[in-house]
Amino acid sequence: MKFALVNPNWDFSGSTYFGCRDPHYPLELLFAFDKIIEDGHEPMLVDAQTDNLTTEETKRRVDAFAPDFLVIPTAPSYLFWRCPPPEVRIPKEWFAQLGGKAVKVAIGPHTSATPAAAIRKMGCDVGLRGEPDQTIPELASKGWADIVGCCWRDESGMHVAPGLGVTDMKSLKALTFENYNVEAHKHRHHVFWGEGHGAELEFARGCPWSCTFCNKTLFRNKFRERDVDAVLAEVDRVIARGVDYIYFIDEIFGVGKNVRRLLEGIAERNVNIGFQTRIDLWDEETLDLLGRARCISMECGIESITEEGRDELNKNCKMNTDRISELLIYAKQRIHWVQANLILTEKDNKEEIRRWQDHLKAHGVWVSEPVPMFPFPGSPLYVQLFGNPDDDAWERAHRYYTKTFSDKGYSDIQEQKPATLEDLECAC
């Protein structure tokens, strides 16, 4: 059977979305593409964001392929599944405009948290919960009731599955990128200077911690590493296509047993890297290794400058703030861009935050202004505030967020006057 995998040309106007707006590799679709071939079926991939395609241009390509299944994600790349746009305006619009006879399949944070509402809102047939790399191809070969996390609607009503797809990361072989316009994707995620040619790869998925605000309970939750040699093969393949910077989309780069071997391998290659991590995973010796592996961008979630604040967010950080500062400064002496991210908490004193920011900035570490937390329906915070998510979860979270922070202030990378979710989703 034939699967059309489409990354829409995203538009975030009016949204509270605070992730990066540039195109990123749709790794969830690239992994599914290979799994579809492994299962004996035929995929096609259209990255309408990287290729800057309209719905009309995309529809022509999809119609020519005549798929049995049309798959569209509800967030732009796995990298942003944890902080997606709350609205499903774009996938809804793309499902409607691509139309056709194919079974419409949505994947992403919305189908994971509120599958019935997401299916209804987007007018699609199937919503997969959890990670879909392996469950997408199963739609062609298994009864849908036997697929983990498969929800669908038919003439007898809505069928909602309790399970969540969890991918066997060791089974994800090295991507070839023969199906991907590596040359057109130049964005270097989280690099704010100079020029170059970026790519995004994934070494490990999930995270062993469970911070209150983190939207990862429904996907990318359990920590799993890929095979180091498969990832190094991908590194070599993108380097051969002109890439000189790789951003690892891992939730928390640096946790696993094999990351050291990966870094030693990268150190032998002519490529820079960047990622998100926790500073308490590193020490002077491993930060030296990062320097040797040409890490140029390291983003660290510190969240609060006090131990009480970090405890309230369930950060489970074993380091005190002085040691955190010391390591951030040590890292900055080896890595061009070191960033410490803060979250707006009641426990932190504004004057003390300013002093800490000034101290680190004097050593070249960039410290964010404390950003407001969105209670995403897949986060422990949502459950603490409202209980388990129901069909109105995204609307409830959005109303809470805009009511709480419209006076206190949004992040400077967000729309300052976001529209309501209802208005955004009705606009198409």
Single residue of 214, 249, 279, 373 touching ligand SF4 by CB under 6 A: 214
What the block records as the tokens of 15 is: 């949204």
Q: According to the binding rule CB under 6 A, does residue 72 interact with ligand SF4?
A: no
Residue type, 357: Q
Q: Which stretch binds ligand SF4 (CB under 6 A): 164-172, 183-191, 207-215, 418-426?
A: 207-215
Nearer to ligand SF4, 45 or 214 (CB): 214
Token pair 């790794």: residue: 27
Q: According to the binding rule CB under 6 A, does residue 252 interact with ligand SF4?
A: yes
Sketch the per residue contact string, 216 through 235, with ligand SF4: x for CB under 6 A, - otherwise. Answer: x-------------------
Question: Sheet containing 337-342: which strands, arranged edge to edge?
Answer: 198-201, 245-248, 272-277, 295-303, 337-342, 366-367
Nearer to ligand SF4, 232 or 300 (CB): 300
> How many residues in the chain?
428
Q: According to the binding rule CB under 6 A, does residue 211 interact with ligand SF4?
A: yes
Please work out the total of residues on this chain that contact ligand SF4, with binding judged by CB under 6 A.
Answer: 10
Nearer to ligand SF4, 28 or 251 (CB): 251
Q: Count helices and strands (H / E) in the chain.
A: 15, 15
Q: Are strands 272-277 and 366-367 parallel, antiparallel or unpaired?
A: unpaired
- Compute the radius of gyration of the chain from its Cα atoms: 21
CA atoms of 281 and 223, how far apart (whole Å): 15
Smallest distance, ligand SF4 to C-beta of residue 358, A = 25
Smallest distance, ligand SF4 to C-beta of residue 373, A = 11
Nearer to ligand SF4, 163 or 208 (CB): 208
Helix (H, G, I), strand (E, B) or coil at 400: helix
Q: Which stretch binds ligand SF4 (CB under 6 A): 104-112, 121-129, 192-200, 203-211?
A: 203-211
Single residue of 57, 196, 209, 368 touching ligand SF4 by CB under 6 A: 209
CA atoms of 144 and 151, how far apart (whole Å): 8
* Phi, psi (deg, nearest 5) at residue 65: -80, -25
First to last CA, the chain: 31
Q: According to the binding rule CB under 6 A, does residue 310 interact with ligand SF4?
A: no
Smallest distance, ligand SF4 to C-beta of residue 313, A = 8
Sketch the per residue contact string, 265 through 284, with ligand SF4: x for CB under 6 A, - otherwise. Answer: -------------x------
Q: According to the binding rule CB under 6 A, does residue 250 interact with ligand SF4?
A: no
Nearer to ligand SF4, 124 or 211 (CB): 211
Token pair 């995270």: residue: 207
Number of neighbours of residue 416 by Cβ within 10 angstroms: 9
Single residue of 28, 47, 251, 348 touching ligand SF4 by CB under 6 A: 251
Nearer to ligand SF4, 180 or 376 (CB): 376
Smallest distance, ligand SF4 to C-beta of residue 192, A = 22
Q: Which stretch binds ligand SF4 (CB under 6 A): 128-136, 208-216, 339-347, 386-394?
A: 208-216
Q: What are the residues whose beta carbons fall under 8 Å from the beta carbon of 181, sequence distance 6 or more? A: 47, 50, 51
Q: Which stretch binds ligand SF4 (CB under 6 A): 113-121, 193-201, 205-213, 346-354?
A: 205-213
Nearer to ligand SF4, 109 or 301 (CB): 301
**Which of 78, 133, 63, 140 is CA-nearest to residue 109?**
78
Q: According to the binding rule CB under 6 A, does residue 341 interact with ligand SF4?
A: no
SS (H, E, C) 97-148: HHCCCCEEEEECHHHHHCHHHHHHHHCCCEEECECCCCHHHHCCCCCHHHCC
Footprint on this chain of ligand SF4 (rule: CB under 6 A): 207, 209-211, 214, 216, 251-252, 278, 301
